[in-house]
Amino acid sequence: MASARQVNIAIIGAGGVGKCFLSQLEWLAARRQNQKLVLTYIATSKKAVYSDSYSPIALDSVVSTLSSSSQAPLALPKLVDYLAASGTKTVLVDNTSSQDIADAYPSFLRRGISIVTPNKKAFSGSYKLWQDIFAAKEEGGALLYHEASCGAGLPVISTIKDLVETGDEVTKIEGVFSGTMSFLFNSFAPTSGAGGGKWSAEVAKAKELGYTEPDPRDDLNGLDVARKLTILARYAGLEVESPTSFPVQSLIPKELESVASGDEFLTRLPEFDAQMEEVKAEAQKEGKVVRFVGSIDVASKQVKVGLEKFDLSHPIAALKGSDNIISFYTKRYGSNPLIIQGAGAGGDVTAMGVTSDLLKVLAQL
């Protein structure tokens, strides 16, 4: 058997998802046949580990090596040069949600550096960035996968790509795209009638359990869902300009948009419980429950994000915990959609999306 070809890995980000990815990478590298995976760069926003000789960074101790490092991260243009100069096939794993790094994707790709990432920003930013990224990918002969940018480890991006690339026509996509929103509404308006506290109490509970961002407004503004819809709509053929170029319902009361902190927001949120109670009661009157969903209608080019009412028997109403559900209506699948459901957030499952993307890249290098 030929000796193992080397592939260099560079990683930015070592937070919740990043740490889970590192442990999956260690598992993978130990089992990889025919390819030797070598970590040559790792950085957080403050620290980095790398060397001019591209010495392998040991995976089993990388977290402590990184935390005790005194090296600063390379500026992005320098990082591009550093990785491209190695003379070895290289994959950049961007485990951040940084817009700056996303903006630099074209520079990496054009130099033949492949990218795998859960970062939504690159694919849901301006349409120009989207076009630049895919043009640079072609130009550089690089590979690019971002399964975990929508639905974490669920096969959402790969499914829409398979549908479109085999000639199917996506007509509609609908679903619950946020683990936080799923958890909130499954608790606030359960199908089983019983339970369901006041809205503000549910938000506080979700925050306490770690289901929301530090400031819950970052979930409640709907932007995270809008970003995922932007990505899917673009794959479905719509030239969506940005995640703010279509209607997105924010669940932040106007009066609380500019309060100073997430804590102050939570303290004042009970003043607005009556509004959400009314929304819930209105749905109940029709025998329905309210859910926070996103939808894309390809023919009418309509993308929207917000509250909608669903029959108790509807799969969206019947979701549990913080699960996502995404329904693809296509020409081939007809009236019964192709549905993907399951945890759409969490370190391990998000990292799994990144790792399975890495496997796809490795198979092609």
Which CB atom, from 113 or from 343, has the smaller least distance to a second copy?
Answer: 343
Q: Tell whether 13 is in a known binding site.
A: yes
- When binding is defined by CB under 8 A, the residue of 181, 308, 337, 345 that contacts a second copy is 337
Closer residue to a second copy, CB minimum distance, 11 or 102 = 11
Would you call 47 a catalytic residue per the annotation?
no
Q: How far is the CA of 235 from the CAs of 223, 238, 296, in angstroms? A: 19, 7, 11
Task: Flag whether 347 is marked binding.
Answer: no
Decide if residue 248 touches a second copy (CB under 8 A).
no
CB of 332 to a second copy, least distance (A): 5
Question: Which C-beta is closer to a second copy: that of 243 or that of 353?
Answer: 353
Number of residues that bind a second copy (CB under 8 A): 43
Figure out which of the listed residues 169, 215, 273, 348 binds a second copy, where binding follows CB under 8 A.
348
- Give the Cα separation of 72 and 104 in Å (integer): 18
Give the integer Cα–Cα distance in Å for 188 and 200: 10
Q: Does 190 bind a second copy (CB under 8 A)?
A: no
Q: In the complex with a second copy, which residue's Cβ is closer, 130 or 183?
A: 183
Binding test (CB under 8 A) with a second copy, winner from 166, 208, 254, 299: 166
The answer to the question of whether 44 is labelled as a binding residue is no
Measured from the CB atom, is 165 or 208 closer to a second copy? 165
Residue 60 is a binding residue for a second copy (CB under 8 A) = no
Active site residues: 228
Positions in the binding site for a second copy (CB under 8 A): 24, 27-28, 153-155, 158-159, 162-163, 165-168, 191, 313, 315, 318, 320-321, 323, 328, 332-343, 346, 348-349, 352, 355-356, 359, 363-364
Binding-site residue set for NADPH: 96, 120
Binding-site residue set: 13-18, 96, 120, 213
